[in-house]
Amino acid sequence: MPESAMRPLTNMCDLPPWEIASRVFNECPRPLHIQGVRSTHRHFFKLLDRLETWDERARSYQDYMEVAFHLHQWRRQKDPSGQLSLKNSYLRFLRGWLYDANSVEGAVMKGWVESRLGIPPTFHGKRIQSRESDAYLDYMRERLNGAARTNAILSQLDLLYEFVQYELARRNPERRHMTLYRGVYDFAEHEIVEQPDNTHAVVRLNNLNSFTRDFERAWEFGTLVIEARVPVPKIFFDGAFLHAGILQGEEEVLVIGGEYDVTLRSY
């Protein structure tokens, strides 16, 4: 892909997109923050500091999301269109991603990465090679339609990301990487940048990807397993989090993309 083909349009992070997407960042990660989220919700994060258990913090997070984004009001809405809008919370989009990462919900999630971190998608139903391509226009159409009737879905995802990062640091402040696995049948969704041998490669991952902690489970999703050492700041969502348990059964971890040094494992 030409370097000029998919230059970032926006970036609301404290590091430039090219750095976040680089192998250098993956090797020596730095904390990432979405501009204004911690300060806007500073009272919530101060509350988290006072809570000792994960159970308390998870419950406080869900309660805070309902109040901050009026998600609780759908139960009192009589207008069906109002109910639809208010029910389109971050939970719907996480569920949608679980069932199909190339769905409308998946487009919105990839759109969050593009708008906040400046990393565009490389695949949504088909390979995206430039912003002038039909594939990119189709992705943008789904992204805009999916976000149109929601309660500030990108702001909800901002807070979700910051909460996940807070919790990861709270649990293990010294950890900088997680070894994760992704099962694939081919590299249609990703680009191999370099491959010195059959078991190692540099891969440009899509801007958001599903991984798992469980190596054996990864084989259920393909005949080839990508093993990646993922920097903690690139963990967008961890399926072990949240009382809703919507991704917990999958042990699914959503990983922000870019170029990764990976190990390839096959039967």
205-257 pLDDT tens trace: 999 999 999 999 999 999 999 999 999 999 999 988 766 555 555 678 999 99
- The larger pLDDT score, comparing residue 112 to residue 239, is at 112
Rounded CA separation 235/266 (Å):
25
Both 71 and 154 in one domain: the answer is yes
30 pLDDT tier (thresholds 50, 70, 90): very high
Both 160 and 77 in one domain: the answer is yes
Read off the DSSP letter of residue 52: -
Domain boundary among 171, 200, 227: 171
Give the global pTM: 0.90
Q: Which domain holds residue 40?
A: 17-171
Contact 257, 204 (CB under 8 A): yes
Provide the mean pLDDT of the chain. 89
Do β-strands 177-184 and 224-231 pair in parallel, antiparallel, or remain unpaired?
antiparallel
Q: Which helix (H) or strand (E) holds 134?
A: helix 134-148
Query: What percent of the chain has a predicted confidence (pLDDT) above 70?
Result: 87
Do β-strands 191-197 and 200-212 pair in parallel, antiparallel, or remain unpaired?
antiparallel
Residue 255 lies in a domain: yes
Domain boundary among 128, 153, 171: 171
Both 167 and 208 in one domain: the answer is no
Both 89 and 212 in one domain: the answer is no
162 has a pLDDT exceeding 60: yes
Both 73 and 185 in one domain: the answer is no
Residue 255 backbone dihedrals phi, psi, to 5 degrees: -120, 130
For residue 144, the model assigns a pLDDT of 93
Q: What is the chain's alpha carbon radius of gyration, rounded to the nearest angstrom?
A: 18
Residue 175 tokens read as 């950890």
Do β-strands 191-197 and 252-266 pair in parallel, antiparallel, or remain unpaired?
unpaired
